[in-house]
């Protein structure tokens, strides 16, 4: 495909997104924010997943230590999801490398994920926790019945319920995690606030559920006070809500760097290195 064709294809896709997604359709201010954020993330995209690990303060070689023991299982899980077809709501394999590296580097006592879906992100997070030999993983998603398709407020439709929550998590990984993996079913707006109040610590939080700006900003701001100093907040499919959050809490340096709109911030505290790239 020629460069001009690629550009027009992207422009058409962008036009469809802002005019078909319920959270943007007919809302010019939201459409402007979405377009502005897309430009910022394009300018701030890092060259590789390992570069995002470095920007977060971790040496890629050390952060990815032990990954070879899980690589085959995780690749098979990703391939099974791809073969399943439809919109499974799973992260990419490269995104998973980042999640694994962050958990191995940070060595969190407690990880919380919103948006379990087929369980690919859960698998990468869980594999890193097994390698760490410590830490618990709480993952939250809707209590839907098998065979049901989920239609979300952001306009998306998810097909993973046809196979069940977390259906792609490899059996050996489930066994290795045991009771350290806690799968919670319910509306995140009800489950997450209650869960946060019971945790002795929260060191890493990964957002990957409803991607409307209002919901995402609510989730970031809810979690941030509970996050340990030096802890990590990660978001998939970042939009203008991430920029607004970073500006509100005085972390503008974290607003731009991303890997295909997967982005993160570390809470001020015992942080050996911070992202220094700023919004243009």
Confidence band of 280 (pLDDT split at 50, 70, 90): very low
For residue 235, list its beta bridge partners: 207, 263
Residue indicated by tokens 């607004």? 244
Kindly report the pTM of this predicted structure: 0.90
Distance CA 241, CA 220 (A): 9
Which of 12-26, 86-100, 142-156 bottoms out in mean pLDDT, i.e. has the lowest? 142-156
pLDDT (average), residues 180-185 = 97
Q: Please classify residue 71 by burial: count the beta carbons closer than 10 Å to its beta carbon, then call 0-12 exposed, 13-18 middle and 19+ buried.
A: middle
Distance CA 89, CA 276 (A): 31
Distance CA 88, CA 110 (A): 26
Distance CA 54, CA 215 (A): 29
Confidence band of 85 (pLDDT split at 50, 70, 90): confident
**CATH number of the structural domain 46-266:** 3.40.50.150
Confidence band of 39 (pLDDT split at 50, 70, 90): very high
Q: Please classify residue 60 by burial: count the beta carbons closer than 10 Å to its beta carbon, then call 0-12 exposed, 13-18 middle and 19+ buried.
A: middle
Q: Residue 155's pLDDT is what?
A: 61
pLDDT (average), residues 113-130 = 96
pLDDT (average), residues 113-139 = 97
Confidence band of 274 (pLDDT split at 50, 70, 90): very low
91 vs 97, 121, 259, 269, CA distance in Å? 10, 6, 12, 29
Domain boundaries, the chain: 46-266
Q: What is the DSSP letter of 17?
A: H
Q: Residue 273's pLDDT is what?
A: 36
Instruction: Give residues with Cβ within 8 angstroms of 81, minimum separation 6.
Output: 88, 90, 118, 120, 168
């Amino acid at each position: 495909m020629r460069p001009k064709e690629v550009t027009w294809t992207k422009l058409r896709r962008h036009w469809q997104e802002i005019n078909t997604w319920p959270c943007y359709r007919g809302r010019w201010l939201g459409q402007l924010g979405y377009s502005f954020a897309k430009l910022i993330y394009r300018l701030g995209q890092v060259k590789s997943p390992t570069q995002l690990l470095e920007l977060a303060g971790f040496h890629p070689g050390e952060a990815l230590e032990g990954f070879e023991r899980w690589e085959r299982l995780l690749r098979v899980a990703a391939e099974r999801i791809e073969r399943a077809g439809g919109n499974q709501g799973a992260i990419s394999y490269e995104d998973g490398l980042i999640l694994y590296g962050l958990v191995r580097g940070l060595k969190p006592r407690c990880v919380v994920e919103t948006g379990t879906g087929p369980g690919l992100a859960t698998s990468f997070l869980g594999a890193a926790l097994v390698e760490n030999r410590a830490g618990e993983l709480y993952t939250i998603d809707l209590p839907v019945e098998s065979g049901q398709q989920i239609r979300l407020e952001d306009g998306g439709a998810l097909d993973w319920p046809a196979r069940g929550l977390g259906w792609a998590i490899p059996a050996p990984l489930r066994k290795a995690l045991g009771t350290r993996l806690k799968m919670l079913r319910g509306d995140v707006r009800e489950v997450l606030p209650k869960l946060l109040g019971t945790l002795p610590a929260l060191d890493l939080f990964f957002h990957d559920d409803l991607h409307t700006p209002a919901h995402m900003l609510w989730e970031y701001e809810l979690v941030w006070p509970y996050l340990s100093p030096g802890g990590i907040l990660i978001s998939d499919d970042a939009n203008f809500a991430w920029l607004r959050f970073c500006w509100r809490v005085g972390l503008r340096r974290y607003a731009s760097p991303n890997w295909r709109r997967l982005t993160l911030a570390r809470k001020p505290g015992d942080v050996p290195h911070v992202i220094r790239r700023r919004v243009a």
